[in-house]
Amino acid sequence: MGGYGDVQMIDENGLRMDGRKPGDVRPITIETGVVPVADGSCRMVWGTNEAIVAVYGPMEAHPRKIQRQDRAVIDVAYNMAPFSTTDRIRPGFNRRSREISKVTKDALESVVLLELYPRSKIRVSIEIISAEAGTRCVGLTAASVALADAGIPMTDMVVSVASGKVNDVVVCDLNKEEDNYGEADLPMGVLPNTGELVFLQMDGDLSPEEFKQAWDYNVDAAMQVHKLMVEALKGGANS
């Protein structure tokens, strides 16, 4: 965390710099089928974050050494476009994108019924077009929608949200300033139908009470986001 403890990001009314209350989530729009050539795809705009995810497969896994005889493998590639932030990002993989690809893969592996497709591969490409804190959450959530759009069998969809601590106040869904200058960050991946946890990371310090508060914010926000995901996949057909 940035450690700039004197930067005031919560006003005297308890509102944040962008006018949200501590438990509020940024506005979200979800669209499916945005990449016509892919088997499934999703475009998710979360505040000023924007991610496009394309899913291909299940397909024959190449090279053969990556094949698993009893299940499919998920190949996740998370990438931030060079123009996604104000400072240009050097194109290609780096330590951070490798880490996020791995945690996303691990989270998705817990919901996808991989044993139905032995020796095959499901390719998930996450491209961040615009980044403003919480891109791993946006990428993981959008990947769940894209997998559902591709008809990949899953027991549930993963919804990921991050909460954190700013000026000693626990807040949900951090924006860029809160992420950079806040005191803690707690991204979580939740299965909304069972309440199970499939992904958890933490940066900074939180007391047990603050951790509980952040946890509750994340679970509540995940339920809200899940409703939007379901709406997007159903396309208003049942309303």
Question: Footprint of other proteins on this chain (CB under 8 A)?
Answer: 33, 39-40, 57-60, 69, 72, 111, 113, 117-120, 148-157, 191-193, 229-230, 233-239
Which of 192, 64, 58, 188 shows the shortest CA–CA distance to 113?
Answer: 58
Q: Least distance from C-beta 196 to other proteins, angstroms?
A: 11
Kindly give, in sequence order, each residue whose CB lies less than 8 Å from that of residue 148, ignoring residues fewer than 6 positions away: 40, 154, 157, 233
Q: Which is nearer to other proteins, 69 or 86 (CB)?
A: 69
Kind of pairing, strands 159-166 and 120-130? Answer: unpaired
Cβ-based burial of 197 (10 A; exposed 0-12, middle 13-18, buried ≥19):
middle
Q: What angle do CA 129, 89, 104 make, to 5 degrees?
A: 60
Q: Least distance from C-beta 141 to other proteins, angstroms?
A: 14
Which of 226, 29, 34, 26 shows the shortest CA–CA distance to 146?
Answer: 34
Q: Least distance from C-beta 4 to other proteins, angstroms?
A: 41
Q: Which is nearer to other proteins, 20 or 119 (CB)?
A: 119
Q: Least distance from C-beta 182 to other proteins, angstroms?
A: 32
Q: Least distance from C-beta 236 to other proteins, angstroms?
A: 8
Q: Least distance from C-beta 118 to other proteins, angstroms?
A: 6
Q: Which is nearer to other proteins, 60 or 168 (CB)?
A: 60
The Cα 50–Cα 30 span in angstroms is: 10
Q: Which is nearer to other proteins, 5 or 235 (CB)?
A: 235
Helices of type H across 64-134: 95-109
Q: Which is nearer to other proteins, 131 or 190 (CB)?
A: 190
Backbone angles phi, psi at 48, to 5 degrees: -100, 10
Which residues make beta-bridge pairs with 186?
163
The Cα 98–Cα 22 span in angstroms is: 31
Q: Which is nearer to other proteins, 166 or 222 (CB)?
A: 222
The verdict on whether omega for the bond into residue 91 sits within 30 degrees of 0, i.e. cis, is no
